[in-house]
Structure 1
Amino acid sequence: MNSSEAARLVGRGLVLPREWWARQSLRARLTLLATALFSIAVITGAVLLLVLQRYALTRVLDQNAVQTARDIARQVRTGDVPKVVQPTTGGIAAVQVLDRNDSVLAASQGTDRTVSLLTPDQLAEVRGGNRIEFTSGDEGSSAPRYRAVARNVGSRTVVVLTDIYRVDDSLRILTRAALIGGPLAVLLMAAATYASVALALRPVAALRHGAADITAAGLAEQRLPVPRAQDEIHRLAVTLNAMLDRIDSATSRQRTFVGDAAHELRSPLASLRVQLEVGQRLGPEDDWTGLVDDVLVDVDRLDRLVEDLLSLARLDETGTLRREAVPLAELVTTVVGGYGQARVPVTVTTPVPSGDHPGPAVDGDPDALRRVVINLVNNAVRYAATAVDVDLVEAARSGRPGVRLGVQDDGPGIPVGERERVFDRFYRVQESRSRDTGGTGLGLPIVRDIVRNHGGRVRLTDRADGHPGLRAEVWLPLDGG
């Protein structure tokens, strides 16, 4: 193995734990994380318990030793000290009364009366008020361990020793219990966490299986299972099902749109094919004028249909492309001015703009709003008998300032029951389904989508003057109002 391979392995060794963690299931990761935290808590608790237990037991021994030292010091102070002194509290291992030369003046039963139990250094330390622990015998042997306290009475010292083997035994028992019970508790915690996480993730597994079924069979009449518990997974399932409903609806509309578009494109293409086949049979001496005119009519219809389809596709994908203040009076006047050669006269009534009052302005896409006016005027011109009237006035709606654009004709109109359906794509009123008028069935749907993107509304009504015909009204909020 060369140095580059070794370096690569070392580098992978630094990444492997992270890769291994990423490969684990969510259940395993949650279990490992909970078990690790619980283990830390168990270890911390065990250490604190041992420390506190030792402190508590040692404090009891010290209190007993101090009390005995006080009682015997009182006897020493009165001069009534027997050769054999009796401890006045329990847990005392030995008592010695020493003079300044470290000679034993008195001792408890069974305690050496000739030699001090403490070394000179130890005596100096306890006479200074410290408490010490020591082993009687060689270090590391099984000799007993003591804790010593002292009380000075003039030139004499009362030394009291307590045996701390009980403290050590208690700590050993607790340590063994922690070493045995801690791992068992961690194992039980890991098993319980694994089972609990599996139970908690069961709705997620059901969502995954439901998604797999939908992927395999499609969205039709299939939705994700919604758990009964009113928790985050329940809300997630409801949200995902609502999203699937919208996707299903959008997919259905797309399929319908594609089918309708194919049907609408087939008609002018078939007409063009027939006319071109007729043209194939014409000779050079024949009159091609009528054929060319017919072909141009179909090409014009095809061009309008493709343009409308592209407009709808852009609206479906991006909505309104840009926003700026659009002076509607100027826009409407400009658009209507282009209908000077229309089959019927088109008149317009708008607020007169001035320097201080440029007229109502809409926050929107000028090209899209121009398309709204053009489509409405085209529709009116297509079906009008004698004239088309366009008006623009400021009109509030639900307390919001806005502007109302009206386009009316004196044509056959649309039955009330059909006025909402004409906003569906490719829909035509029965009386006008003949394509001689040149309509694509997309003009009004384009108007509706653009107006909705601008926060407005569009509707079809009867003429306000009671004459036959149709009036299209568009309401738009003013400049973001």
Structure 2
Amino acid sequence: MDRAGGARRRLARPLARVARWPRAWWARQSLRARLTLLATALFSFAVITGAILLLVLQRYALTRVLDQSANKTAGDVAQLFSSGKEPRTLPPTTGGITAVQVVNAHDDVISASPGADPHTSIVGPSELSAVRGGDRPTITSSSDARLRVVGRKLGARTILVSTDVSRVEDSQRILTRAALIGSPLAVLLMALASYAVAALTLRPVAALRHGAADITAAGLAKQRLPVPDAQDEIHRLAVTLNAMLDRIESATSRQRTFVGDAAHELRSPLASLRVQLEVAQRLGPTVDWSGLIDDVLVDVERLDRLVEDLLSLARLDESGALTRRDPLNLDEIVQEVVAGYGTARVPVVAETQPSPTSGDAEALRRVIINLVNNAVRYAATEVHMSVAPDKQGGKPVIRMIVDDDGPGIAEAERERVFDRFYRVQESRSRQTGGTGLGLPIVRDVVNNHGGRVRLAERPDGRPGLRAVVVLPGEPE
């Protein structure tokens, strides 16, 4: 049993390889060759089908003409006999009719046309029986002529009319030879035309491939794929790919800048820590350990904030869109956050109204904390917050405002502060400066929630800065 199974498996392997060969061969061919082969195969099928159909229709049409002529002749003879005349010799035949006979029930010829045998029927007994049954047999005469016999019953008698089908067969042979000679030529011309058209059509694809190879070798900088002039699918593909390359280059540039800035920002507190520890190492027991620890903790806290902000930005870049959309009340989150600033350097006051919205509660909490931290850092006397539902463009929104009475930010820099690691000059000290990532995080989170954030002057004319966040509200 094992030997039989092994033999079957050994036999199945070459059969499987043979079955896979056409698919493997087809997969190795170029797209141009596959299009040419497919177009040529379809054209060949159409030509062969058309030639066969033409031959069939031609034979049918010519045979029908002969049958119509034979039926007319038979009708004339029947009319002659119906009038009481029964001539021994019938009128001469015309229009491809070779012979006309009238036979009785005993298969005896009682009338015949000139040139027809006046004694012997043009068909044998079996064929005559078939003619009486409605068939139209094709026979070979004694002179090797091909004759088609049409019969018509006239009482006990039968009128036989034979027509020469050699002209039909000659036409068939001529058309068949023309098809055998012309079809391969037509298929060959179609194959060449298909190959040329495929080559011309795929030329933009080849240009795209060469352009992609150049970009792979030299990089994205200032290089894009060629866009063909034709407004077709390849044109749209090239435009789409170039747009994708633009985004990739922009993302790569932002990533390179981000990594460089992150390295620079991390280097500063690390260098400060190293200097302080080296100084302490040299001073030995005489160092002021209490002050040193305070200074080290400042740098450690700065490192902690920076790492946390970097992780937040990395998560935002990875998600790229809002993944959670839970129903929440923004006013409740604001109250919870403000309650944690009871011991801040300046008081934080919040005015809230019920503000239902949807989104990621933790991400929005981070937005509020970052805005309040910035305001507390630079405020002179207090920070004022408000959150309330509003209307914008006829749609419900939630408007959150954070005001401080600090030095403010110049109008030219209000957009730049949303760039990663950008900080205005007043915020660059180690003691009061942030990481330069708080407002970029605010912008990304708000954008992911379908809202927007902006900085402006306080409308009451007092010094300071106003941060305005607008988020989509829940329909009433």
Shorter-chain TM-score bucket reads: over 0.9
Which whole-Å CA distance do the structure 1 matches of 2:202 and 2:8 have between them? 46
Which whole-Å CA distance do the structure 2 matches of 1:404 and 1:72 have between them? 107
Equivalent residue in structure 1 for 2:322, among 320, 323, 329: 320
Residue 65 of structure 1 pairs with residue 70 of structure 2: yes
Equivalent residue in structure 2 for 1:342, among 341, 344, 351: 344
Q: Is the 8 A contact 1:227 1:233 kept in 2?
A: yes
Q: Is the 8 A contact 2:227 2:235 kept in 1?
A: yes
Q: 2:426: which partner in 1? A: 431
Question: Secondary structure of the equivalent of 1:395?
Answer: strand
Q: 1:372: which partner in 2? A: 367
Which whole-Å CA distance do the structure 2 matches of 1:171 and 1:14 have between them? 40
Deviates more, 1:335-344 or 1:435-444: 435-444
Q: 1:305: which partner in 2? A: 306
Deviates more, 1:148-157 or 1:200-209: 148-157
Which whole-Å CA distance do the structure 1 matches of 2:259 and 2:327 have between them? 35
Q: 2:99: which partner in 1? A: 94
Question: Secondary structure of the equivalent of 1:385?
Answer: coil
Q: 2:159: which partner in 1? A: 158
5+ long unaligned stretches in structure 2 = 1-5
Equivalent residue in structure 2 for 1:470, among 465, 470, 473: 465
The aligned amino acid for 1:5 is: R
Q: Is the 8 A contact 2:389 2:397 kept in 1?
A: yes
How do 1:126-165 residues align onto structure 2 when only pairs under 5 Å count? 126-136=131-141, 143-165=144-166
Residue 202 of structure 1 pairs with residue 164 of structure 2: no
Alpha-carbon distance, 1:286 to partner: 4.1
Which whole-Å CA distance do the structure 2 matches of 1:71 and 1:273 have between them? 127
Q: 1:292: which partner in 2? A: 293
Which whole-Å CA distance do the structure 2 matches of 1:233 and 1:333 have between them? 56
> Against the structure 1 CA distance between its residues 175 and 17, is the aligned structure 2 distance closer, same or farther, given a 3 Å change threshold?
same
Q: 1:297-325 CA distances to partner (integer Å, 9 max, x unpaired)?
A: 10100110111111111111104342211
Which whole-Å CA distance do the structure 1 matches of 2:239 and 2:273 have between them? 51
Alpha-carbon distance, 1:274 to partner: 0.7
Q: 2:37: which partner in 1? A: 32
Number of equivalenced pairs: 470
Q: 1:248: which partner in 2? A: 249
Q: Is the 8 A contact 2:33 2:195 kept in 1?
A: yes
Q: Is the 8 A contact 2:74 2:152 kept in 1?
A: yes
The aligned amino acid for 2:469 is: V
The aligned amino acid for 2:364 is: L
Q: 1:81-102 CA distances to partner (integer Å, 9 max, x unpaired)?
A: 5544333431111222323322
Deviates more, 1:309-318 or 1:423-432: 423-432
> Against the structure 1 CA distance between its residues 164 and 321, is the aligned structure 2 distance closer, same or farther, given a 3 Å change threshold?
closer
Q: 1:402-456 CA distances to partner (integer Å, 9 max, x unpaired)?
A: 1111111111111111111111111111233223313111111111111111111
Q: 1:18-60 CA distances to partner (integer Å, 9 max, x unpaired)?
A: 2222222111111111111111111111111111111111111
Which whole-Å CA distance do the structure 2 matches of 1:409 and 1:133 have between them? 111
Question: Secondary structure of the equivalent of 2:284?
Answer: coil
Which whole-Å CA distance do the structure 2 matches of 1:408 and 1:182 have between them? 86
The aligned amino acid for 2:126 is: D
Q: 1:166-222 CA distances to partner (integer Å, 9 max, x unpaired)?
A: 111111111111111112111111111111011011111111111111111111111
The aligned amino acid for 1:17 is: P
The aligned amino acid for 1:165 is: S
Which whole-Å CA distance do the structure 1 matches of 2:322 and 2:69 have between them? 90
> Against the structure 1 CA distance between its residues 154 and 446, is the aligned structure 2 distance closer, same or farther, given a 3 Å change threshold?
closer
- Percent identical: 69
Q: Is the 8 A contact 2:355 2:387 kept in 1?
A: no
Question: Secondary structure of the equivalent of 1:11?
Answer: helix
Which whole-Å CA distance do the structure 1 matches of 2:385 and 2:154 have between them? 120
Which whole-Å CA distance do the structure 1 matches of 2:301 and 2:367 have between them? 20
Q: Is the 8 A contact 2:93 2:100 kept in 1?
A: no
Q: Is the 8 A contact 2:399 2:471 kept in 1?
A: yes
Question: Secondary structure of the equivalent of 1:435?
Answer: coil
Q: 1:52-80 CA distances to partner (integer Å, 9 max, x unpaired)?
A: 11111111111111222222333334454
Alpha-carbon distance, 1:5 to partner: 3.2
Q: 2:3: which partner in 1? A: none
Which whole-Å CA distance do the structure 1 matches of 2:398 and 2:153 have between them? 105
Equivalent residue in structure 2 for 1:443, among 438, 444, 447: 438
5+ long unaligned stretches in structure 1 = 352-358
Which whole-Å CA distance do the structure 2 matches of 1:13 and 1:112 have between them? 65
> Against the structure 1 CA distance between its residues 480 and 248, is the aligned structure 2 distance closer, same or farther, given a 3 Å change threshold?
farther
Q: 2:14: which partner in 1? A: 9
Q: 1:456: which partner in 2? A: 451
> Against the structure 1 CA distance between its residues 33 and 480, is the aligned structure 2 distance closer, same or farther, given a 3 Å change threshold?
farther
Q: 1:403: which partner in 2? A: 398
TM-score when normalising by structure 2:
0.94
The aligned amino acid for 2:233 is: E
Which whole-Å CA distance do the structure 1 matches of 2:147 and 2:457 have between them? 111
Q: Is the 8 A contact 1:320 1:368 kept in 2?
A: no
Which whole-Å CA distance do the structure 2 matches of 1:150 and 1:404 have between them? 101
Q: Please, what is the CA RMSD of the aligned residues?
A: 1.9
